[in-house]
Structure 1
């Protein structure tokens, strides 16, 4: 005989799982957009972003000195703000995700260009800037999940009968 809480669990769990499947991607897209928008807007104001120095040095180095630190900051601020807006609004998601992956590619280059600024002890003890870079793996993964739904893909709360695990 099942206890009352087990019966409740079996009644509530499918409802919650279905709700998460229905709304999870949208919430992920919007929250990722807020992060990009927020961090992008901060970069329009010199000195407000903790990643500003390393980011601008990276862009200046990658542009072979063609972009000044100030131009790099404004370019990055604009790029991140556009990515954030695209994700929050949900329009032009393919283009937005392309910009996101392009920007994320740039965020990992300091690992190779400036390893002494990314690690206290190479390769296992990242600095605060290094931790900031490595957390971007989560943002990249979120972009991949959102990208998997751009052509109409959806999460499902229950697997197909042929995909259910036994036991």
Structure 2
């Protein structure tokens, strides 16, 4: 099988030419075409989806008791600020930060700033696993509680953020 690229220089999954099938290869060509389109637009799609999640969760934090993560988020951020800020101020700051990150990701405006905020926020989120061990782990073992699982699943958001950052930082030179 020969290696191929499409008109934009993108390789299909596996980088191989589509095989011919009994239908004249139409289904395979359609799948190849779709794969090439997604490959080229994937980082933008991830950026908007990631931004939508942050925007949605940020707005929820402006409404008292609307966010299921509110308690863990406030307890973690309060520890990170050495109890210098009252919980209601911490919640407003978290809500504003998540909303701003979400808007930056969705719109692409100040994208590098939004990405820096995103990664800083994710570091704070993951710090809950260390700062609140009694809430995050069962039996002092690597068995997460429901709250711990809620935090750990954010590795998927971090992976999406890495792809978005690589795309953003890779295609435009720094100022």
- Cα offset for 1:19? 0.9
Aligned match of 2:11: none
Distance in 1 (alpha carbons) for counterparts of 2:151 and 2:119: 14
Aligned match of 2:109: 91
Of 134, 140, 144 in structure 1, the residue corresponding to residue 162 of structure 2 is 144
Aligned match of 1:131: 149
Between 1:114-123 and 1:137-146, the stretch displaced more is: 114-123
Report SS of the residue matched to 1:151: helix
Of 43, 58, 63 in structure 1, the residue corresponding to residue 61 of structure 2 is 43
Is the 2:101–2:117 contact (alpha carbons within 8 Å) kept by the matching residues of 1? Answer: yes
The 1:11–1:134 alpha-carbon spacing in structure 2 relative to 1, beyond 3 Å, is same
Report Cα offsets for 1:95-125 as digits up to 9, x if no partner.
Answer: 1100001101100111111111012233332
With normalisation by structure 1, the TM-score equals 0.85
Q: Which runs of 4+ in 1 moved over 6 A?
A: none
Aligned match of 2:85: 67
Distance in 1 (alpha carbons) for counterparts of 2:149 and 2:24: 41
Is the 2:138–2:145 contact (alpha carbons within 8 Å) kept by the matching residues of 1? Answer: yes
Report SS of the residue matched to 1:131: helix
Between 1:132-141 and 1:33-42, the stretch displaced more is: 132-141
Aligned length: 153
- Cα offset for 1:152? 4.7
- Cα offset for 1:5? 4.6
The 1:18–1:61 alpha-carbon spacing in structure 2 relative to 1, beyond 3 Å, is same
Distance in 1 (alpha carbons) for counterparts of 2:168 and 2:105: 12
**Runs (5+) with no aligned partner, structure 2:** 1-19
Using CA pairs under 8 Å that are at least 6 residues apart, name the structure with larger relative contact order, 1 or 2: 1
Of 11, 20, 34 in structure 1, the residue corresponding to residue 52 of structure 2 is 34
